[in-house]
A and B are shown apart, each in its own frame.
Chain A
Amino acid sequence: MNSPATTAIEPLPTVKPDRLPLMLLPVLALVALPLIGSASTWVTLTFAGLAMGMIIFIIASGLTLVFGLMDVLNFGHGVFITLGAFMATSVLGLMTGWTTSTSLLLNLVAVLAAMLVAMSVAGGVGSVFERVIIRPVYGQPLKQILITMGGMIVGEELIKVVWGPEARPLLLPTAFQGSILMGDAAVEKYRLISVVLGLIVFAIMTWVLTHTKVGLLIRAGVHDREMVESLGYRIRRLFIGVFVVGSALAGLGGVMWGLYQQSVTPQLGSQVNVLLFIVIIIGGMGSVTGCFIGAMLVGLLANYTGFLVPKVALFSNILLMVIVLLWRPEGLYPVGKK
């Protein structure tokens, strides 16, 4: 066996991993500490911010991949959040005996059942949404925006038809209520659970993306879908799979958001929608890691400013997006699309 290209071996340039965006999280938290003044309040707010960020990440991760793979701007993503949350009100409503029990196991089973049903229904509706709403407008961004917004409105109205227009309570199961003390700081149990669940979803997603062939295809497709097709893979099937999983995750996020707020309204999805787009733009559209950091930044900043300067909290996310885009116009972790 000869080695014709031997002379072409040259050393690779050393490029350090880009950790600057990661540093934003501890920097933001440390800057907030002296401004807040009280360490216990800071701990409480930080956990609240991380919990909120994790829920936003779970919801937004599918949205960013959907855009990355097919350049599809789905403004209807919010409807899956609302659907998930309302499904949870129905499932947990049927399991009141389990949620009001003092048994952690029964509480867990009830919440897990609600999450599974919400994810299944949101995923199923997602596949119909992709087929009916998204597929006819591939490659037509303006039409995508209009028709997915229309889909969102229709979905919201259908939810009102099924569950009614009023807000519905979504109470935490007994064992999830209350706080635990960390020194002087009280941290709500549910926020801790949200942080853990968010980390689990992030870890699974990262593992799938880096250790499986489907994950490789998704990463490659986000970069250059034409080349993936030239290698013999059907990117549309992959996209449908990602869309369905993304919708299911939005459904899961809806359950978590509803439990976080302890109430659900038909407008929940459209309210969260804006936040989702801020997060995926901050993170770099198509980047899961960027989406994760963007969601954490948004969650922390919303809680810190909500405590320190409540009026600023109303637009803190927009401000954050402007600052990030001035620094990195394509987001924290731009995806090198072809």
Chain B
Amino acid sequence: MSEPLLQLQGVHTHIGAYHILQGVDLTVPKGELTVLLGRNGAGKTTTLRTIMGLWQVSAGSVTFEGENIGLLATPDIAQRGIAYVPENMGIFSDLTVAENMILAARNAKRAEDIDPKRLEWVFGLFPAMKRFWQHPAGLLSGGQKQMLAVARAIVEPRKLLLIDEPSKGLAPAIIQNMITAFQELKRTDTTILLVEQNFNFARQLGDQVAVMDGGQIVHSGAMADLAGDEGLQQRLLGLSLASHQ
């Protein structure tokens, strides 16, 4: 495992009266893809939102590149090089694909200001974005919206990508496309923290894995170890790999 880029230590998060994260300890190594697994309500999305500053940390620390970002505002966290793709994709449906991308490229005022090489690379990953460049994002299919959400996160180099359930609600063919795109992203040494419930999707991509339950990390280690241990899967996730193949 390479050096940590992001570390959560004893992180607690309250949402109103609810105590959601109850001492999360998580390490995301630099240049690797870490998958956060767990059942519904385990606290996966809350973990990403807490890292992003969208929920306030009640206790504990969130350290990014050695700096505690736990009390920073969301824009400050984003400006440190963290991109977030929420579960609902966060697409601005009234804006065109191009306008969505211009907003994601913070220094771009027009589409021409986006680094053309980077844009071509993104188009290589997601050709639909080029084809529908001037179309309203609201007209895209679910899979295309997910591609736009990821494309937006990578239109400029980021140090860390937080991606929440990218396979959710997508057709198997689209999921396979997403896997291929993420594999290409991994080749660029991008650090990714991916929340997933689809273990088959996760095991094809993950270098590291952490499993959440009840607002805590109950297991962490190499993905290969979990993928190769059906008993562990059943104990942690209540599933067998065979059922997902």
- Chain A interface residues toward B at CB < 8 A: 1-10, 12-13, 15, 212-213, 216-217, 219-220, 223-224, 226-235, 335-336, 338
Q: Which of B95, B106, B174 contacts A219 (CB 8 A)?
A: B95
- Chain B interface residues toward A at CB < 8 A: 52, 54, 73-75, 78-79, 83-84, 86, 88, 90, 92-95, 99, 102-104, 106, 108-109, 120-121, 124-128, 131-132, 135, 138-141, 143-144, 147, 152, 173-174, 177-178, 180-181, 183-184
Contact in complex: B95, A220 (CB < 8 Å): yes
Most buried by B among A2, A8, A9: A8
Most buried by A among B90, B140, B141: B90
Contact in complex: A228, B103 (CB < 8 Å): yes
How far, in angstroms, from A230 to B120 measured CA to CA in the complex? Answer: 24
* Shortest Cβ distance from A220 into B: residue: B92
Contact in complex: A5, B90 (CB < 8 Å): no
Closest 10 CB pairs of A and B: A4-B180, A232-B78, A227-B90, A1-B124, A5-B177, A229-B74, A220-B92, A230-B84, A9-B128, A232-B79
Contact in complex: A8, B92 (CB < 8 Å): no
Q: Would you give the shortest CB distance from B110 to chain A, in whole angstroms? A: 8
CB<8 Å pairs between A and B, sample of 21 = A2-B184, A3-B124, A5-B128, A8-B126, A8-B147, A9-B128, A12-B139, A12-B141, A212-B109, A216-B95, A217-B103, A219-B95, A223-B94, A224-B92, A226-B90, A228-B103, A229-B75, A230-B90, A231-B103, A232-B75, A336-B94
Contact in complex: B184, A4 (CB < 8 Å): yes
How far, in angstroms, from A321 to B126 measured CA to CA in the complex? Answer: 45
How far, in angstroms, from A228 to B124 measured CA to CA in the complex? Answer: 26
Contact in complex: B141, A10 (CB < 8 Å): yes
Contact in complex: A213, B90 (CB < 8 Å): no
| Residues in A neighbouring B173, C-beta threshold 8 A | 7-8
Contact in complex: B95, A8 (CB < 8 Å): no
| Residues in A neighbouring B143, C-beta threshold 8 A | 8
How far, in angstroms, from A213 to B120 measured CA to CA in the complex? Answer: 22
Q: Which of A4, A212, A219 contacts B181 (CB 8 A)?
A: A4
**A219 in contact with B92 given A4-B125, A230-B84 (CB within 8 Å):** yes
| Residues in B neighbouring A219, C-beta threshold 8 A | 92, 94-95
**A5 in contact with B99 given A13-B139, A229-B75, A232-B106 (CB within 8 Å):** no
**A231 in contact with B78 given A5-B125, A8-B128, A336-B93 (CB within 8 Å):** yes
* Shortest Cβ distance from B177 into A: residue: A5
* Shortest Cβ distance from B132 into A: residue: A12
Q: Would you give the shortest CB distance from B112 to chain A, in whole angstroms? A: 13
How far, in angstroms, from A228 to B92 measured CA to CA in the complex? Answer: 9
Q: Would you give the shortest CB distance from A328 to chain B, in whole angstroms? A: 17
How far, in angstroms, from A7 to B128 measured CA to CA in the complex? Answer: 9
How far, in angstroms, from A11 to B86 measured CA to CA in the complex? Answer: 25
| Residues in A neighbouring B178, C-beta threshold 8 A | 5
Contact in complex: A216, B52 (CB < 8 Å): no
How far, in angstroms, from A10 to B147 measured CA to CA in the complex? Answer: 13
| Residues in A neighbouring B102, C-beta threshold 8 A | 213, 216
How far, in angstroms, from A259 to B104 measured CA to CA in the complex? Answer: 45
* Shortest Cβ distance from B54 into A: residue: A226
Q: Which of A5, A6, A233 contacts B75 (CB 8 A)?
A: A233
Contact in complex: B109, A12 (CB < 8 Å): no
| Residues in A neighbouring B138, C-beta threshold 8 A | 336
How far, in angstroms, from A2 to B184 measured CA to CA in the complex? Answer: 9
| Residues in B neighbouring A229, C-beta threshold 8 A | 54, 73-75, 78
